[in-house]
Chains A and B, each alone.
Chain A
């Protein structure tokens, strides 16, 4: 794994458009049954144009990008801020790169800046991961 260094890009993860089916599956599988993500009438009554994606769905996509890159057993920390809503039909992409190598508890960790971006180039999640290399 010595090819990982500052500036290394994490292979991007491109996702299919967010559909109502995507949100229904995620609601059931995650147990987050907030109707604002699955019931259009409820979402409109709450002042939204329609249902929108769970923030944690995008964070799960970030984790997929990371575990595609390195085994999950190397993931030490994962954090994200939810900075914009992901709307129905949006197409999001996960990307990231190594910004620093640090030593913690005797192991070398890659500090990675990670983000989710929609098709307009707007960031929806901004976060950081620490991955042992």
Chain B
């Protein structure tokens, strides 16, 4: 069983600089062809400071702190037994190339189903930009398979 005492644990905030090249790479990877996501001039014509990050790019900011989310080390999880259960985002503003985003992350719940064969870890993240504006929140549920033990 994963250590339930870690419910409430807050990870150290991480800082991620949003690079234009990285956003273009992300757009390419998801097959996004709208030039607003790749061309600065097109984005600026539509009122953005620079090319915007697509909605699910927030996950990429989570990965900036370490090789993998620190959750795995904290709970001693085996990466190959983790499945992504669900992901929810709330958006309050945009992220554009050139922004610096502070990511905070907290474990808000852990529970199990099927007599412990499956454990669930729920994390909430927040994303705040360089001028202190909260631009998004995320809630992520990871599923941990214990059944092979």
For the complex, would chain B's binding face be called helix, strand, loop or mixed by DSSP majority?
A: mixed
Shortest Cβ distance from residue B47 to the other chain A in the assembled complex, whole angstroms = 8
Interface residue total, chain B, C-beta cutoff 8 A: 36
With a cutoff of 8 Å between Cβ atoms, the chain B residues found around residue A36 in the complex are 79-80
Number of A-B contacts (CB under 8 A): 107
Q: Among residues 1 to 50 in chain A, which have CB atoms less than 8 Å away from a CB atom of chain B?
A: 15-16, 22, 25-26, 28-36, 42, 45-47
B82's nearest neighbour on chain A, judged by CB, is A34
- How far is it, in angstroms, between the C-alpha of A26 and the C-alpha of B28 when the chains are bound? 9
For the complex, would chain A's binding face be called helix, strand, loop or mixed by DSSP majority?
A: helix
A78 in the interface (beta carbon within 8 A): yes
A57 in the interface (beta carbon within 8 A): yes
With a cutoff of 8 Å between Cβ atoms, the chain A residues found around residue B54 in the complex are 60, 63-64, 67, 72
- How far is it, in angstroms, between the C-alpha of A78 and the C-alpha of B32 when the chains are bound? 18
A59's nearest neighbour on chain B, judged by CB, is B56
Known: A46-B80, A56-B87, A82-B84. A25 touches B28 (CB 8 A): yes
**Which of B22, B67, B80 has the most C-beta atoms of chain A within 10 angstroms of its own C-beta?**
B80
Interface residue total, chain A, C-beta cutoff 8 A: 41
Question: B: which residues have CB within 8 A of A?
Answer: 22, 25-26, 28-32, 34, 46, 52, 54-56, 59-60, 62-64, 67-68, 79-81, 83-91, 94, 139, 148
- Residue contacts A-B, CB under 8 angstroms, 29 given: A25-B25, A25-B29, A26-B29, A29-B60, A30-B26, A30-B29, A31-B62, A33-B67, A34-B79, A36-B79, A42-B80, A46-B81, A57-B30, A59-B56, A60-B30, A61-B31, A64-B30, A67-B54, A77-B89, A77-B90, A77-B91, A78-B88, A78-B91, A79-B139, A81-B86, A82-B83, A82-B84, A82-B85, A82-B86
